Structure 1
Amino acid sequence: NTRLAHQSLLQVVMISAHRASTLPPQAADSGVVTSMRSGVGEELHHCNGDMHPLRIDVLTLAAHRRQVWVRLLVDRLTAARPDVKVRVLDAEEATVGLGVESKRQQPHVLINRVSDAAAPALAKATVTLLSAAEARGVRVINGSRCYGIGMSKLLHHVMLDGAGLATPRSVVCRRLPPDEETLAGLRFPVLFKPNSGGFGAGIVRLDSEAELKESVAIGAVKMGEDGMCLLQEYVAPARQETFRVWVAGGTVQCGVRIWHSQPDDFGGCMSAACR
């Protein structure tokens, strides 16, 4: 499943590389269609005549530089075309898009692989780097808008609702304990969810308003680092499973099923489950 996910990302990268390269727009567009239908190999066939160095930067956390999701991506990119030049940049020190370097030194494509659960200061710096690269005309994959959505459970629900997908009723809280107006019509049990953060951290099931108030009083529940949280009506799954699905170009690429040993395990980390 990890390899399938990277194959999907590689397709997106090479499509972006086409559009950022010196190929005529018509050739790039036809290459996109071919890639979606036949895979990266066929798309690269359209690129054989364009042998200018294709510069791709991968932005990640220093601690993740040697992790499989970065190493496999770099290996696939460098194997895709002989003229691909890949740099792995540590988000803690990178200045991509902010310097005065000429366009000849800028990457054609910047791939953001920084965790959206990174420390707040580093997440802010990453957004700045991505926005600067976008403003410079660099094609960015997992750019500032996408990365910002990934940081927020509230924005997840906004996007899912916009796509017509049903989600449990949720309300946003800006203070604890929430006021009566915020709780009006909310049915318990609920899940308390910090708006920012990952790996299921801080998610707690609360069975009544009284339990909510008690949990706030003893510090058992806390706001996210952005001062927001969600209260979401709890819908018990038919089975103790979480599914993560990758979609690219409107097509489901692959999925992972995560089984939870405990009914109140609300984490959905694929890497932990796959171990």
Structure 2
Amino acid sequence: MDKVYVIHENEEWCEPLFSALKNEGVPYENWHLREGSVPLDSVPPNGVFYNRMSASSHSRGHRYAPELTHAMLTWLEAYGRTVLNGRNALGLELSKVAQYEALKKHGITVPQTTAVVGDQQLIQAAEHFPKPFITKHNRAGKGLGVHQFQSVGALKQFIESGQLEPSVDGVMLLQEYISSPDQTITRCEFIGGKFLYAVKVDTSEGFELCPAEACTVGEQFCPTDGSEASATKRPKFEIIKNFSSPLIEKYEQFLKEEQISFAGIEHITDANGNTYTYDVNTNTNYNPQAEEAAGIFGMNEVARTLKKAVLSNK
């Protein structure tokens, strides 16, 4: 049996996958690409290569891991290796602009958004933008850099005080603020390009919404640290039973055409029933408490999908 080569930059996020692969009896090799080299004049090993590179790698000190991964995937694809979540998936992971334009091609509604470089240009764009609005990073993850503003004046003051942290790629997004009546968003998980489940996510405490139990932002644990909800507080993550939406078919077609095997796609519904898709995560993680409660385990399904890919790899 060939190996699965797991390409990533976050050991903690991959431990559940490595455990699942061991349980399925799938040989694997850990390719941690925080740094390294790509031997372009050598032939890559045979096997199945699973890219789990994250747009938020820079927040863990791995600034150029995505660029190294792009070089690695280019090399692997040039030799015809089986790559799951390849270069196109990586491109969408690293750019919300690319995500939104790809989603719109498939008839999927996204929030009104303007891409901006430069603080003054951001202020000028906001003057003609619906209020309230949010800023966010084009290349981010876990909701890093998301701030809500009620006015252009508030944005200007925030910028002048030095509080608006720049996006690592220099591109800031100005986006209409979509308000959910119950302060939740829905994240749909796809494995092998097919829908697995939808999870309701409580956004009442902020925007850092990575589902992984080990998720951290700098020195601060994000709100999804795996702690149990109190008797008076709803769970941060809760899998929705028998979830159904016309978006699922559109999402699956989007993933197929964009050559994405594994993803979590997030959407929000406003008080008028309008639904907006605003994020595609090709490096998807799963919340252990929500899965335990529902009896569905994403990483186990990922491992089984990878096992099938290895067995059919030629």
TM-score when normalising by structure 2: 0.61
Q: Which has the higher contact order (CA 8 A, sep 6+)?
A: 2
Distance 1:65 1:127, change over 3 A: same
Q: Does 1:142 align with 2:85?
A: yes
Which of 30, 38, 42 pairs up with 1:100? 42
Distance 1:130 1:63, change over 3 A: same
> CA RMSD for the aligned pairs?
2.5
Structure of higher CA gyration radius: 1
Distance apart, 1:57 and its partner CA: 1.4
Q: Which residue of 2 aligns with 1:90?
A: 32
Aligned residue for 2:131, secondary structure, equals coil
Distance apart, 1:185 and its partner CA: 3.8
Q: Which residue of 2 aligns with 1:22?
A: none
- Paired AA for residue 177 in structure 1: Q
Distance 1:158 1:97, change over 3 A: farther
Q: Considering fraction of residues, name the structure with more helix.
A: 1
Distance apart, 1:248 and its partner CA: 4.9
Q: Give the conservation status (yes or no) of the 8 Å contact 2:4–2:49.
A: yes
- Paired AA for residue 132 in structure 1: W
Which of 43, 51, 66 pairs up with 1:123? 66
> CA deviation digits over 1:56-113, x for unaligned, max 9?
21222263376213332453361xxxxxx42222223555663524x6xx12311112
Q: Which residue of 2 aligns with 1:243?
A: 186
C-alpha distance in 2, partners of 1:237/1:197?
22
Aligned residue for 2:65, secondary structure, equals helix
Distance 1:77 1:161, change over 3 A: farther
Q: Which runs of 5+ in 1 are unaligned?
A: 1-52, 79-84
- Paired AA for residue 176 in structure 1: D
C-alpha distance in 2, partners of 1:137/1:168?
37
C-alpha distance in 1, partners of 2:189/2:199?
9
Q: Which residue of 1 aligns with 2:232?
A: none
Distance 1:54 1:232, change over 3 A: same
Distance 1:109 1:93, change over 3 A: same
Distance 1:138 1:259, change over 3 A: same
Quote the sequence identity (%). Answer: 23
Q: Give the conservation status (yes or no) of the 8 Å contact 2:21–2:28.
A: no
Which residues in structure 2 correspond to 1:32-43 (within 5 Å)?
none
C-alpha distance in 2, partners of 1:91/1:99?
19
Q: Does 1:188 align with 2:131?
A: yes
Distance 1:96 1:245, change over 3 A: farther
- Paired AA for residue 155 in structure 1: A
Give the number of aligned pairs.
212
C-alpha distance in 2, partners of 1:257/1:241?
6
Aligned residue for 1:243, secondary structure, equals strand
C-alpha distance in 1, partners of 2:89/2:25?
22
C-alpha distance in 2, partners of 1:108/1:161?
34
Q: Which runs of 5+ in 2 are unaligned?
A: 213-223, 225-235, 237-286, 290-314
Aligned residue for 1:92, secondary structure, equals coil
Which of 110, 120, 125 pairs up with 1:177? 120
Aligned residue for 1:178, secondary structure, equals helix
Q: Does 1:76 align with 2:24?
A: yes
C-alpha distance in 2, partners of 1:66/1:140?
17
C-alpha distance in 2, partners of 1:66/1:171?
34
- Paired AA for residue 23 in structure 2: D
Aligned residue for 1:210, secondary structure, equals helix
Distance 1:160 1:113, change over 3 A: same
- Paired AA for residue 77 in structure 2: E
Which of 144, 150, 157 pairs up with 1:207? 150
Q: Give the conservation status (yes or no) of the 8 Å contact 1:62–1:91.
A: no
Q: Which residue of 2 aligns with 1:153?
A: 96
Q: Which residue of 2 aligns with 1:269?
A: 210
Aligned residue for 1:214, secondary structure, equals helix
Distance apart, 1:130 and its partner CA: 1.1
